[in-house]
């Protein structure tokens, strides 16, 4: 058994014995997530195709060529709750105050092509 395999087994033992919450985690699309990903999960990983470079497709390392070293993250406030009129007034207020960007709270199930009564939409409608 190699050193990295022994370390993995040691970690798995500690993970199981931690007594902390252990649950099945999955993505919004139902894909199961492992508790830890290691190089063994990257057998078919191609850096140029799957990670790329900052400012280049697939944008996994940021949309700017300097990542976020040359341009800081924008600070935004959510604006999109309430009626259409209240939301519009809030957008205009924030922009008048110098806000550089707005984050809009969308109906996520609808954006994902689901009806509000779809079982996967439970707990998301009206948020």
Query: pLDDT, tens digit, for every residue of 34-64?
Result: 888 888 888 899 988 888 898 898 888 888 8
Nearest residue to 5 via CA among 52, 34, 35, 39: 39
Q: Given the structure tokens 């949309």, which residue do they identify?
A: 63
> What are 65's two structure tokens?
């060529």
Query: pLDDT, tens digit, for every residue of 72-119?
Result: 777 666 666 677 788 888 889 988 998 877 877 667 777 778 888 888
Which phi and psi angles does 43 have, rounded to 5°? -55, -40
Q: Given the structure tokens 């252990």, which residue do they identify?
A: 22
> What are 67's two structure tokens?
């990542």
> What are 37's two structure tokens?
């990903």
- What are the DSSP E strand ranges found in 1-127? 25-26, 32-33
pLDDT at residue 116 in the model: 81
- Tell me the CA distances in angstroms from 23 to 13, 32, 35, 124, one per residue in order: 16, 11, 9, 21
Q: How large a percentage of the chain has pLDDT more than 90? A: 4
Rg (CA), the chain: 21
User: Structure pTM?
Assistant: 0.41
């Amino acid at each position: 058994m190699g050193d990295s395999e022994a370390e993995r087994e040691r970690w798995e033992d500690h993970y199981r014995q931690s007594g902390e919450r252990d649950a099945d985690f999955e993505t919004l699309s139902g894909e199961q997530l492992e508790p830890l990903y290691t190089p063994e999960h990257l057998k078919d990983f191609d850096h140029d195709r799957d990670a790329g470079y900052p400012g280049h497709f697939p944008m996994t390392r940021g949309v700017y060529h300097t990542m976020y070293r040359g341009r800081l993250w924008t600070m935004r406030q959510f604006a999109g709750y309430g009626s259409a009129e209240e939301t519009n007034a809030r957008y205009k207020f924030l922009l008048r105050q110098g806000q550089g960007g707005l984050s809009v709270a969308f109906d996520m199930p609808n954006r994902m092509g689901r009806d509000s009564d779809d079982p996967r939409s439970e707990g998301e409608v009206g948020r």
